[in-house]
Amino acid sequence: MDRKLDHTSSYQRIGPSQFSDLTGFYDAQKAPANLTETRRRVDAFVNKHSSTGRRIVLVTSGGTTVPLEAQTVRFIDNFSAGTRGAISTEQFLERGYAVIFLSRQYSLLPYSRHYSHSKNCFLDFMKPDGLGGITVAPQFTPAMLKVLEKYNSVKQQGLLEVVNFVDVNEYLFLLREITASLSTIRERAMFYLAAAVSDFYIPLGKMVVHKIQSGDGALHLELDQVPKVLSPLVKEWAPKAFVVSFKLETDPSILISKAKTSLARYGHQAVIGNILSTRKYHVILITNEEEKDIRLPEKEADAGAEIEGLFIPELISRHEEWIRQASLQN
Amino acid sequence: MDRKLDHTSSYQRIGPSQFSDLTGFYDAQKAPANLTETRRRVDAFVNKHSSTGRRIVLVTSGGTTVPLEAQTVRFIDNFSAGTRGAISTEQFLERGYAVIFLSRQYSLLPYSRHYSHSKNCFLDFMKPDGLGGITVAPQFTPAMLKVLEKYNSVKQQGLLEVVNFVDVNEYLFLLREITASLSTIRERAMFYLAAAVSDFYIPLGKMVVHKIQSGDGALHLELDQVPKVLSPLVKEWAPKAFVVSFKLETDPSILISKAKTSLARYGHQAVIGNILSTRKYHVILITNEEEKDIRLPEKEADAGAEIEGLFIPELISRHEEWIRQASLQN
């Protein structure tokens, strides 16, 4: 812990985590039902694109839930609509990558994100044509046509594989399987870990079955720490891959030091640092060699540009260098 | 509390709640910024429909969040996509009610719900017509046309007013304002409180500002009980209105007794009881006079029928009787 807690704080720490080194975590928790089928699907996707030499990126997106009950009514969630992941996926696809999109169910998806979570109801775009058909109202057509064409092209070429999760347990199991699959293409794999993964959870063995009843008192919750999966991912599961993690903070004064600690601890290639309130206009790309400040000028933002269009090309050029260096060593 | 807690439970109770009688709650918490503007909008809606004698129902929908940090990265949430509230709103509108829809941001909305949170991406419905326009693919047109016509009719007549909330604090402030507005039409108002409102929250004064840091230990959270707002709503804020609350449980053995306790404690008119796993096919309508089991036959469910189409007419007939009884007394 790197800062003092407020004395009026409603939380506190209580002892070490059960599986801080991941030992035992996967044995103690229950694998999601669709794990084998998903692995098969991802293997097929990786094999197909591997045979053409295409680079593949795993983009993780959205927040993970932490169920408080086995028959879940309540859960802890992380703030994330999945905007970063959905935009980034479009950027990678436009730049020739195939994308495995590991994303929270019902969070934003590439392409359709332009029309979901919108102030405008989707039905406001539609007009009966008077002949039994429905057309998109003319004022919305040009923008939608552009999105639709990109979406259809990606679908036709089979460049996008979507895998859904809801809770942190599903996420951790799916991540391990997909990583095993992606590790087969070695340096050509990129991991772009943008999901807002919970740091805390309630282990299966400690969870109550039924809905927590509201009684006459306050509620005390005790959560264990989620094991830091980045460590085995980088060191054991996919040691040749190019790995990018994200650091989201609300306090700017701790952002860079936390990113550097993370790079040193896990040994991966890059951290994208961002602050909650400015994350759409400002990120810092942090590697062992540099801290690069990347800002989206206000004018460009107003014109609809997105900061992912600035920093993803930076990541891609570093990934290309990573592949080049590896080929020199072989 | 009406059942024993599991000994392996990760939660416990810790003393009485700060504002269990609501005294002080609204003073200690901060009102949402849009409260005055929302009240004005709702007043105008109520006045407009009140002048034509139309009945008005407040439908609350979706889960409330409970922020764990003032600059919120993490929050507790209640399981709810807002399906019940969105379907019910369509049912009330079809039966002549005007509806105030107090709903969690980004949860399902009436009409558009047929195309959100769907397995099918919305873009899969769209086809470029080759002439620069976009049409809805023929196989999806008949169903969408029905929805679109209803949506447009409701919009034209101004029968639906949507108010959004995210956290439990916003919900409680907005509910009080809307109730004050609706109370002016007395018996012709119905409250249909389907939102999954959190039972616990962290008061403003106890909340930390910045993102909780993941350290080397587990996490202890302490939450206060949310005041039971149904009591003042029924007894003081809108004592003439017809009020329906919801009870969602996972344990069927406690459902009816909890519903009856609620009716006795708050003095409102009806509870819709349902079990998490069967809520789409089975509800129990509980009033002081009866417990009515309402089930959607499997065949009808398969044909696309929804259980709200069965129990909302039951509620409406009881509301009509409520209005008739009141008119006899005046």
What's the mean pLDDT when you consider all of chain A?
Answer: 89
* Model confidence, pTM: 0.86
Answer yes or no: are the C-beta atoms of A203 and A70 closer than 8 Å. Answer: no
Is B230 a domain residue?
yes
Query: For B63, which residue in chain A has the nearest alpha carbon?
Result: A74
pLDDT over 70 for what percent of chain B?
90
Residues 146-165 of A with CB under 8 A from B: 147-149, 151-152
Is A251 a domain residue?
yes
Q: Which of A20, A75, A72, A29 is nearest to A173 (CA)?
A: A29
**A120 touches B: beta carbon within 8 Å:** no
From the number of C-beta atoms within 10 Å of its C-beta (0-12, 13-18, 19+), residue A172 rates as: buried
Indicate the residue of B69, B220, B250 with minimum beta-carbon distance to A210: B250
Q: What is the mean pLDDT of residues A36-53?
A: 97
Sequence-separated (6 or more) residues with CB below 8 Å from residue A51: none
Indicate the residue of B2, B6, B13 with minimum beta-carbon distance to A208: B6
Answer yes or no: are the C-beta atoms of B148 and B159 closer than 8 Å. Answer: no
C-beta atoms of B206 and A9 within 8 A: yes
C-beta atoms of B225 and A208 within 8 A: no
Tell me which chain B residues have a C-beta less than 8 angstroms from the C-beta of A213: 1-3
Tell me which chain A residues have a C-beta less than 8 angstroms from the C-beta of B212: 11, 199
Residues 170-199 of A with CB under 8 A from B: 196, 198-199
C-beta atoms of B11 and A212 within 8 A: yes
Is B111 a domain residue?
yes
Q: Which of B218, B75, B69 is nearest to A199 (CA)?
A: B218
According to the model, what pLDDT value does residue A219 have? Answer: 81
Confidence at A220, pLDDT banded by 50, 70, 90:
confident
Provide the CA B314 distance to its chain's centre, in angstroms: 18
pLDDT over 90 for what percent of chain B?
69
Tell me which chain A residues have a C-beta less than 8 angstroms from the C-beta of B109: 121
Indicate the residue of A74, A134, A222 with minimum beta-carbon distance to B76: A74
- Whether residue B316 is predicted with pLDDT greater than 60 in this model: the reply is yes
What pairing do the DSSP bridges indicate for beta strands B270-275 and B242-249? parallel
Which range has the worst mean pLDDT, A53-62, B68-77, B257-266?
B68-77
According to the model, what pLDDT value does residue A114 have? Answer: 86
Provide the CA B167 distance to its chain's centre, in angstroms: 13
Cα separation, A36 vs A29, in Å, equals 16
Q: Which of B312, B313, B267, B272 is nearest to B293 (CA)?
A: B272
According to the model, what pLDDT value does residue A121 have? Answer: 78
Domain that holds residue B84: 25-212+220-240
Å between A130 CA and nearest CA of chain B: 10
C-beta atoms of B15 and A117 within 8 A: no
B114 vs A43 pLDDT, higher one? A43
Is A118 a domain residue?
no
C-beta atoms of A122 and B117 within 8 A: no
According to the model, what pLDDT value does residue B118 have? Answer: 66
ipTM of this predicted structure: 0.80
Q: What is the mean pLDDT of residues B172-199?
A: 96
**B220 touches A: beta carbon within 8 Å:** yes
Confidence at B114, pLDDT banded by 50, 70, 90:
confident
- Whether residue A10 is predicted with pLDDT greater than 60 in this model: the reply is no
**B206 touches A: beta carbon within 8 Å:** yes
Alpha-helix residue ranges (DSSP H) falling in chain A: 25-28, 35-50, 83-94, 141-157, 168-182, 230-232, 255-266, 298-302, 308-329
The domain total for chain B is: 1
According to the model, what pLDDT value does residue B18 have? Answer: 44
**A200 touches B: beta carbon within 8 Å:** yes
**A275 touches B: beta carbon within 8 Å:** no
Indicate the residue of A126, A225, A277 with minimum beta-carbon distance to B218: A225
Question: Which 3 state secondary structure label does DSSP give B329?
Answer: helix
Tell me which chain A residues have a C-beta less than 8 angstroms from the C-beta of B221: 10-11, 219-223
According to the model, what pLDDT value does residue B119 have? Answer: 65
Inter-chain Cβ pairs, chain A and chain B, closer than 8 A: 284
**A265 touches B: beta carbon within 8 Å:** no
Q: What is the mean pLDDT of residues B303-320?
A: 96
CB-facing half-sphere around the CA of B7: CA atoms within 13 A = 0
Residues β-bridged to residue A294: A283
- DSSP string covering B212-280: PPP-SEEEEEEEEEPP-THHHIIIII-TTSEEEEEEEES-GGGHHHHHHHHHHHH--SEEEEEEGGGTT
CA dihedral over B296, B298, B300, B304, signed as positive or negative: positive
DSSP B19: T
Indicate the residue of B72, B207, B216 with minimum beta-carbon distance to A79: B72
Confidence at A205, pLDDT banded by 50, 70, 90:
confident
Q: What is the CATH number of the domain that holds A281?
A: 3.40.50.10300
In tens, the pLDDT along A263-313 reads 999 999 999 999 989 999 999 999 999 999 999 998 998 998 999 999 999
Answer yes or no: are the C-beta atoms of A198 and A76 closer than 8 Å. Answer: yes
C-beta atoms of A208 and B122 within 8 A: no
Is B293 a domain residue?
no
Is A116 a domain residue?
no
Q: Which of A131, A156, A209, A219 to mutate to test the interface with B (most CBs of B within 10 A)?
A: A219
Structure tokens at A203: 């282990």
According to the model, what pLDDT value does residue B23 have? Answer: 61
Tell me which chain B residues have a C-beta less than 8 angstroms from the C-beta of A65: 77
Sequence-separated (6 or more) residues with CB below 8 Å from residue B155: none
C-beta atoms of A13 and B68 within 8 A: no
In tens, the pLDDT along A237-264 reads 999 999 999 999 989 999 999 999 999 9
Q: Which of B77, B80, B145, B226 to mutate to test the interface with A (most CBs of A within 10 A)?
A: B77
Question: Which 3 state secondary structure label does DSSP give B195?
Answer: coil
Tell me which chain A residues have a C-beta less than 8 angstroms from the C-beta of B199: 212, 214, 219
Tell me which chain A residues have a C-beta less than 8 angstroms from the C-beta of B101: none
Give buried/exposed letters for B81-115 (b at 16+ CB in 10 A, else e).
Answer: bbbbbbbbbbbbbeeebbbbbbbbebbbbbbbbbb
Residues 27-46 of A with CB under 8 A from B: none
- Whether residue A8 is predicted with pLDDT greater than 50 in this model: the reply is no
- Whether residue A226 is predicted with pLDDT greater than 50 in this model: the reply is yes
A224 vs B46 pLDDT, higher one? B46
**B249 touches A: beta carbon within 8 Å:** yes
According to the model, what pLDDT value does residue A119 have? Answer: 66
What's the mean pLDDT when you consider all of chain B?
Answer: 89
